[in-house]
């Protein structure tokens, strides 16, 4: 298979491309959602010994969703880690002590070009209130949970589930 033509069908808050895909002697038309690249982290406060997550309204779920800290990589970010440190500061109010890569994934590769860089982060000293950036219309509730509380939560967000399962499998068992 090969992409032979690419047109922007929509260019708003997100982009949607219309692709022509050559599949042998067939030409297929496909749409691809192009939101950009994102970073996310399961954040652990080493002083409080609690995980720090955020609850916010998500349009896709049409509900408030409990999830790990996440945000888009800006064009001026040097790398995913820089973007993630900024997001942790904005959303939680903490500078980042350490970052450990967990995974680089496409959450929905069948129709989306979005890529997530997922990390485990440790923090220790809150220096600001957090809660997101008003100019980005973020309204975040900081949620602090022990590991036991976190593992009992009903979670809807895939990146959050992936990061928590990583923690259960590797970090908690001191495999890393």
**Is the pLDDT confidence value at 176 over 60?**
no
pTM value is: 0.88
**Is the pLDDT confidence value at 98 over 60?**
yes
Give the contacts of 30 (CB within 8 A, at least 6 positions apart): 18, 19, 21, 111
Annotated binding site for Mg(2+): 70, 87, 91, 138
**Is the pLDDT confidence value at 133 over 80?**
no
Annotated binding site: 70, 87, 91, 138
Are 54 and 41 contacting, i.e. CB atoms less than 8 angstroms apart?
Answer: no
Q: Which residue segments constitute the domains of the chain, with CATH numbers given?
A: 2-32 (no CATH), 36-171 (3.90.79.10)
159, two tokens: 């990146």
The average confidence (pLDDT) of the chain is 92
Residues 35-68: pLDDT tens digits?
Answer: 999 999 999 999 999 999 999 999 889 999 999 9
């Amino acid at each position: 298979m090969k992409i032979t033509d690419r047109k922007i069908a929509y260019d708003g808050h997100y982009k949607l491309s219309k692709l022509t895909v050559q599949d042998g002697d067939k030409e297929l038309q496909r749409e691809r959602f192009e939101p950009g690249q994102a970073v996310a982290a399961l954040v652990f406060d080493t002083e409080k010994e609690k995980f720090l997550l955020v609850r916010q309204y998500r349009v896709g779920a049409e509900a408030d969703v409990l999830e790990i800290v996440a945000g888009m990589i800006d064009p001026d970010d040097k790398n995913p880690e820089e973007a993630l440190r900024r997001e942790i500061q904005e959303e939680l109010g903490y500078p980042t002590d350490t970052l450990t890569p967990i995974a680089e994934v496409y959450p929905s590769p069948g129709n989306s070009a979005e890529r997530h860089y997922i990390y485990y982060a440790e923090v220790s000293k809150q220096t600001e209130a957090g809660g997101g950036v008003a100019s980005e219309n973020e309204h975040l509730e900081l949620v602090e949970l022990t590991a036991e509380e976190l593992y009992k939560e009903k979670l809807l967000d895939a990146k959050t589930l992936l990061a928590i399962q990583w923690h259960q499998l590797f970090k908690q068992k001191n495999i890393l």
